[in-house]
Amino acid sequence: MSQNATPALKEWPLWEVFIRSKQGLEHKHCGSLHASDAQHALQMARDVYTRRQEGVSIWVVPSATIAASEPGDKGEFFDPAADKIYRHPTFYEIPDAVGHM
Amino acid sequence: MGAQATTATAAAPLDYLLHLADNALILGQRNAEWCGHGPILEEDLALANNSLDLIGQARLLYQYAAQIKGNGATEDTLAYFRDVPDFRNYTLLELPHRAPLAATVAGDRDYATTIVRNFLYSALMALLWERLQGSPDAHLAAIAAKSLKEVRYHLRHSRDWLVRFGDGTDESHARAQSALDHLMPYTQEFWTASAHETAACQAGAGVDAGELRTDWNTLVDSALAEATLKRPSDKGYVTQGKHGVHSEHLGFVLAEMQSLARAHPQATW
């Protein structure tokens, strides 16, 4: 059982790439790429997505580990929120000092 | 050659700067051959990034050299209007991206050759730029500090692929080993000081590359062990590129690189 090394993958798995553009901002999804492992994915993301100073930090996440909502669930997931305008706290007076919220 | 160009206490000799600049330019030009032909899109970009780093280093060094040379010299006259015997790059850097073949045979480019060469050269330059950061020639020290960050990434990138190839499939291992067997003897040229390197050391501005050999061996041996590759002998003929005596390949590199500038001198865009 353990005498066989892991067989080489024919296809490199897919990774999602997240870049933080500067300190204090959140990482944002910017694309995806195929790579053989996490280290490999990081280096490729560096070469592909940060050539024009787009980032100060990179995350890569195996796409297979992301659980996503189904497009078919759109109706029951998201549509019921459409007519609940009272959930937006638009009736508060925001003091000028608070600035942009 | 006037010393008016710099206020540093120990200016690097012109030929030493040209040696460093030519190394960067010729390898940059070679690696740029992969642009649009990389094995995968991400590596295509990685090699183009690598080339642009190297050409950027060459420009800074040529600009500084042109200042010292005076007489209307510019970075462009140094890059585009010198001929094969004037170039002072290591022979290693002008070789085609493939196993040894006769001069103009158009073989397929071999990525293992590209990676092994980048690794052997980057390992040297990571050590050399680190030392040159402390050069009393302030201008050269500043170029070294910028180049060091770039070459550390080149070393990381090429080492990573070297290990993946060596410790990969039977074919990738065989190709990495054959590239290593082919290229290793050319690294002997790193260690025997040329007259301009000696002059730079005596002036205090340069670094004796021979002193870096032990550290270079450590970097190389650890990567080769991880890659399960055998270190070949590096004995035999010592190439003379840095003395201006080149292989037949440099002429072809220069012909392609210089033809536009020579056909349209003074062209701007």
- pLDDT tens digits, B63-100: 999 999 999 999 999 999 999 999 999 999 999 998 77
Task: Please state which CATH class domain A14-98 belongs to.
Answer: alpha beta
Q: So what's the ipTM on this one? A: 0.78
Task: Indicate the domain borders of chain B.
Answer: 14-96+108-231+240-263
- pLDDT tens digits, B188-210: 999 999 999 999 999 989 999 99
Displacement of CA A7 from its chain's centroid (Å): 29
Tokens of residue B110, six digits: 């071999």
Q: Which among A41, A13, A16, A39 has a CA at the least distance from the CA of A29?
A: A16
State pTM to two decimals: 0.87
pLDDT at B170 over 70: yes
Task: Indicate the domain borders of chain A.
Answer: 14-98
Pairing state of beta strands A14-20 and A57-62?
Answer: antiparallel
Closest Cα in chain B, distance from residue A69 (Å): 30
Q: Which among B1, B12, B5 has a CA at the least distance from the CA of B201?
A: B12
CATH number of this structure's domain B14-96+108-231+240-263, picked from the four choices 1.20.1260.10, 2.40.50.140, 1.10.630.10, 1.10.10.10 = 1.20.1260.10
pLDDT at B9 over 60: no
Closest Cα in chain B, distance from residue A25 (Å): 25
List per-residue pLDDT tens for chain A, 101 residues long. Answer: 344 556 556 789 999 999 999 988 999 999 999 999 999 999 999 999 999 989 999 999 999 999 999 999 989 999 888 888 888 877 778 888 887 76
What's the rounded mean pLDDT across residues B32-42?
Answer: 91
Tokens of residue B80, six digits: 């585009």
Task: Report chain B residues touching chain A, CB-CB < 8 A.
Answer: 40-42, 45-46, 49, 153, 156-157, 160, 164, 168-169
Q: What is residue B65's predicted lDDT score, i.e. its pLDDT?
A: 97
